[in-house]
């Protein structure tokens, strides 16, 4: 199993997004500070501002959501999922792009963490 950690602004909002929109299942929840969600052998740790993962580094930098490293989710019908997400008000970083391996788009979770939705060529 693979585990990833995303810093999020609000744990419950993140849980709702991942379970309602991307078919994750809730694993554990520790108050408003931390939760886990799972899908297809992936465990995603959702760490709120109160967790140790969000504490300042020795040089003063504070970890925050966003960036460009991302979780990649294989999907079967990219167009239908993008339409569903757009209708819900989800934010995308780009439009669908086509490459030699398939089609992809970058979706932001409610805290601005990127998720690549990828439909393999075939």
Can you give the pLDDT at residue 1? 67
Can you give the pLDDT at residue 70? 93
> Is the whole model's pTM more than 0.85, yes or no?
yes
Rounded to the nearest 10°, the torsion over CA 31, 37, 42, 43 is 10
Helix (H) / strand (E) containing 12: helix 11-22
Can you give the pLDDT at residue 45? 95
Cβ(115)–Cβ(73) under 8 Å? yes
CATH number at residue 97: 3.10.180.10
Tell the burial category of 107 from Cβ atoms under 10 Å away from its Cβ (0-12, 13-18, 19+).
buried
Residues 96 and 74: their CA atoms lie apart, in Å, by: 14
User: Domain limits at 95?
Assistant: 2-56+64-120
Residues 122 and 54: their CA atoms lie apart, in Å, by: 41
pLDDT along the chain (122 residues), means of 10: 91 98 96 95 94 91 90 95 98 94 95 96 86
């Amino acid at each position: 199993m693979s585990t990833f950690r995303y810093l999020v602004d609000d744990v419950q909002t993140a849980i709702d997004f991942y379970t309602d929109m991307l078919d994750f299942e809730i694993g554990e929840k520790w108050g408003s500070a931390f939760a886990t969600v799972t899908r297809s052998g992936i465990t995603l740790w959702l760490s709120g501002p109160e967790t140790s993962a969000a504490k300042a580094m020795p040089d003063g930098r504070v970890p925050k959501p966003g960036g460009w490293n991302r979780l990649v989710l294989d999907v079967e019908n990219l167009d239908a999922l993008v339409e569903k997400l757009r209708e819900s008000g989800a934010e995308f970083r780009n439009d669908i792009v086509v490459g030699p391996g398939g089609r992809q788009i970058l979706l932001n979770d409610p805290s601005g963490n990127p998720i690549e939705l990828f439909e393999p060529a075939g």
